[in-house]
Amino acid sequence: MNIEDIRKELQQILGAKRFQHSLSTAEMAVLLSKRHGVSPEKAELAAILHDCAKGYSIHEMREQIEIYQVELDEVERKEPGLWHAPLSAIMARVRFNVHDEDILQAIQIHSTGDQGMSVLDKIIYVSDYIEYHRKHLKVEDIRELAPYNLNLAVLMTINIKITYLLEQEVLIHPRSIVARNDLLAQGVKK
């Protein structure tokens, strides 16, 4: 499936707002990929598909998880907000015929982060947060920083997301903590 066909299909299965978010995330990911020496084609594909399962309701997601036998860990099982990332990776493989493991991994961990993130993983993680339609906290600072210091951009994004989850009193996936520890242990700081 070429990128044009993927775009058309996504437009059908995602609402207008999510489709726009996917396109904008891809635009940001391509920009960052050129700055950080990653294949722009891979970045575009991973970014455009990163939320491809997000058009489903929770009920439908639960069905898809059954059908595709998506393995969820204990925290993921309890937190529906975490379902769309692993499900999007499975859909990218079976529905959109993507078999590049680098791309699938970047989709899989785009909402939590993980230990030992690749440059592509980091680009997708950050692009999702700072694409041009986003108006989150500190988004402009991170947008300015990301082309120059991707690691710090990831750390700042993780910090903001974890702070938000703490305030919401929802579960925090251990992968987010591990990802943050990993960056700090590497000496990433402001």
- Residues in contact with Fe ion by the rule CB under 5 A: 51, 111, 128
Q: Which of 58, 51, 54 is nearest to 26 (CA)?
A: 51
Q: Can you read off the two tokens belonging to residue 19?
A: 């489709």
- The answer to whether 45 touches 120, Cβ cutoff 8 Å, is no
Nearer to Fe ion, 158 or 186 (CB): 158
Distance separating alpha carbons of residues 107 and 88, to the nearest angstrom: 7
- The least CB distance from residue 128 to Fe ion, in Å, is 4
- The least CB distance from residue 190 to Fe ion, in Å, is 25
- The answer to whether 152 touches 127, Cβ cutoff 8 Å, is no
Nearer to Fe ion, 121 or 128 (CB): 128
- The least CB distance from residue 134 to Fe ion, in Å, is 9
- What is the number of alpha carbons within 13 Å of residue 141 lying toward its C-beta? 11
Nearer to Fe ion, 133 or 184 (CB): 133
- The least CB distance from residue 86 to Fe ion, in Å, is 11
Nearer to Fe ion, 82 or 156 (CB): 82
